[in-house]
A and B are shown apart, each in its own frame.
Chain A
Amino acid sequence: MVKRSLAAVLAASVALCGCVQTRQFADVQFTPPQGNYKLLVLRPDVTVGSLTTGGMVEPRADWTDQARKSIVDALRAQQSARGGNVTIIERRNQLPGVTAEELAEVERLNYVVDQSIVLHKYLGDYLPTKRGKGLDWTLGQSAVNLGQKTGYDYALFLHAEDQVASGGRIALGVIGLAGCFIGFCAPNVGGSSQLDYASLVDLKTGEVVWFNVVQAGSQVPGIKFGDLRTPEGATQMVERLLGRMKPGRAVREQQAREKR
């Protein structure tokens, strides 16, 4: 259940409003992967649930399976369009030459590093020692070893969760809206919401080179800003999350100089 907590913290950090927000950070030297690169996607963590009338999230196995398939398809299409060679693994024992324990170690390490990134980049607990350094985190030798053993250039960690407002939740919002006419106005009980984040690790250096968070949600049940269950919704999410990877600051400055 540890995974949930990071998501909860992130959800709380992004301002609650009816909109779509993204915020990405990159290593100063980061250049978005282009051309012939090998990308390893480790166990995409996808959950789709129904938001009950009372505000609990009921996980839905069928929606989750549907969404995972749509996301994986969209991810493959997007990366191969950029020239990337993508492998997506679903279980820790599916990577040849690497034991499930080794992979678990990398995943767990990445998880705590992601937590640290969220704390110091998104939650306002900024570190003076990392000021102006872009994204300055690394998984160290364990990620380099993984790259050497498998021959991949990058590893991508992806988390996506979607909560779809149930009929009851929408009805609750409607009652709240109706109340506006007699002086008790509460249409904003909270509706569908989506939270996605991803981190890209360079397996040659072990560094986390890029991190992005997408939050899409609405306070009014019944209004949606994307639905992971549909292929369109999944493509939209993958595009929002990974579509516009910005190069790092040093690279951008270099590009600007070359233009001049």
Chain B
Amino acid sequence: MSRLIVGPFNRVEGDLEVRLDISAGMVADARVVSPLYRGFEAMLVGKPALDALVYAPRICGICSVSQSLAAARALAATGSVPVPANGGLAVNLIHAVENVADHLTHFYLFFMPDFARAVYAGEPWHADAAARFAAVKGTAAQDFLPARAELMNLLGILAGKWPHTLAIQPGGSTRAVSRAELARLGALLAGFRRFLERVLFADALEAVAALSTRDALLAWAEAARGDFACFVLLSQATGLNRLGRTDLRHMSFGAYPSSDGPLFPRGLFRRGVGGVLPVDRITEDVSHAWYQAAPDGAPRPPRDPGMPPDATRDDAYSWCKAPRLEGEVAEVGALSRQLVAGHPLPRDLVARDGATVEARVVARLLEVALVTMAMERWLRAIDAAAPFIDHTPLPAAGEGAGLTEAARGSLGHWVAIQGGRIANYQIIAPTTWNFSPATPPVRPGRWNRRCAAPRCETGRPSRWRYSTSSALSTRAWSARCIDGGASHPRAGPCAGGGLPAPCLAPGAGAGHRRQRRQRWRGRGHPRLGEAATLDGFQNRLGEGAPPLARIDTIEVWPHDGPAPQGFTIAASAAGTVRTGIVPDAATCPACRAELFDPADRRQGYAFGNCTHCGPRLSIVRAIPYDRANTAMAAFPMCPDCAAEYANPADRRFHAQPTACPACGPRLWLEPAPDAGTDPLDAAAALLRAGGIVAVKGIGGFHLACDATDTTAVTELRRRKARDAKPFALMARSVDEVGRYCQLDDAASTLLRSPAAPIVLLPRRPDGPPLPDGLAPDQDHLGFMLPYTPLHHLLLARLEGPLVMTSGNRSDEPQVITNEDARDRLAGLADAWLMHDRAILNRLDDSVVATTSGAPVVLRRARGYAPAPLPLPAGFDGLPPPWPWAGN
């Protein structure tokens, strides 16, 4: 065994050392050392809160804006500081310029020069690569640096300067831009696009963004002539798709928020499966970092103050703390971001080869194309006449987290303020995720893993490739932690959708005495009888089950004592929770029929439902799924409803959210219409007149307007400051959808399914004309059908489809409470159609596309969440499950 110490490393942003233990020519152990400590977190304590905006960007010169943004968001989160639409757009643009410049700086100045090294002199491609990419002297640097400088000119206008701007504030951007400046910014951006399309890609950005498989990428690279194609070919020649392979959870905090969600979402991804990121399960470990151990020895969450440095520890070797997610290493960066976002190209690369050097570089450059196109849209969405900043003051005390994505990966700042001054400030930078020291039990950081496999070429250590870029000036963290233990075994049972009378009816016919008991372990069906009959009963249990029922397991155990009499549903018993909640479901045909039946007591009532349909996850406060644990607890059942609820033969037997006009939620319009006017009639009249109405739905508020009214659509787009992203549409029937779009059976079935998602459908060329502003430059429209009685009643009063877009402002999630709707949708809506059934879980509309008849869920939320996704093979025995929810 011998030890090789490699360093200083070139072309990183900061200082880095690698220690290798070598045995029989192979690397036996690798340690990545960050040898510099700067102490930012301690520095910030005691400073006036807003001074963080001065210090934070100076943590890192290459991701200065990301640091500003994380600080501004953390400060804003200590209170409630709204960001006007322009502020969000301007900050996105500033952030995007930095991130795109970082990707290209990494590519042209840090990464590609390695191909020019003498060690490759024998390769047939070396002479060309050296002429193009040699450090400082190659022609690529001469092309790139002026293009980078001109891109940075956007920041001269938008941010005063780069790096280290103070333009980014909790309430938006200090720098309002005029229409003339918007035009100039557009021209600068066009110049940058031209550089990308002539030099880097030698093809349209759209063509790069559309590459979806490794095969397509290779075919494209054979034909293209730009520097990216050159990389792809060199990567094949040098096998970069086999180097630096990891198999970790990929993590993204999400980036570039807008009124209709972030450009890149927050989440996790591993082995083909996405998941929700439990941010509160991030901790920092100092087992092998030069910090004092916490008194309890445990890793600490970043909300807690860090421990002071301790350079005397013999068991430590780095100034990087080790951030962990649920106790595990996670990978961050452009590849992780694009895997989480679901772009097909990186997903295909990783499915074939794992996360490799090649995949990481491809993801960076793919992101250059995607983000540049998004910048063009954001620029167009800025309204020079509207405000760029909100001046709501910060509270004197509070805590907040600011999460964003630097080019190199997830960045988080956690702040606590007391008396207007910073009481605690903790930073977890991307580099610490990727370059962290080991934590017990030996769980090396990502880079350690990357190093430990390949054969060591002693004497030629410089052939290493690290596509992980590091921003090492960002270290200086403190100790924090969490215990990463798993708590919920991933039990399958996910009942609660009502396994009521119908599925029990067969048993009743067979003359059995049954007892049904709801337990926190799920709903079991203990029963009494002879073995053969009982088997038959068991087999038939699922046959008559209602649409929403799902039996995951049936537990059978012997019964002692006297046989119970009759059929009862026992009260839920306390125990370990193993059930889940079923998704919300669209109004079923029976309930819809009642809605328009003049003889029915629920005719015209906006909140009817039964065991086949209605709100579920959106109204659940706790499990087990009983009315007392839902938003319906506020509405005691009237005798009629209670009778239906108790009758096993009724469609509403144990329908937890059941309601009627006598006892259930009520509907109203604000501002109130003339006395005596039905709120739905008034809302319909407003919509017909071109108004915009906020409509409270199942999982949040929508903003609705007449989809056939060009003026209304344009106005809605202006008020939301929404760029070119298409609006979702709601039509009263499949037939009406068919007037505008081409429909096949698969699409019709999807539209009618209980999930009632937004289905992306190709427009009919011969369809009736619709405003261009609905879905600019799109040949598809996103349609859904009414999925609540309220929607049915509203659509029935109108002649055509409605725009139903999420009710929110830029940078904010969809509004779910009435108070927030009044407050945050002021200026966006002309009226509010509201009700008093609380939405407890926010759920966006799900979005589904069909390809060759097969549905592909693009956004898995209302109607799908929280139904479990099966884990692929290889995940058996995975200890900590990831909580699933609408995302």
Verify that A and B bind, or say they do not.
no
Interfacial residues, chain B to chain A (CB-CB below 8 A): none
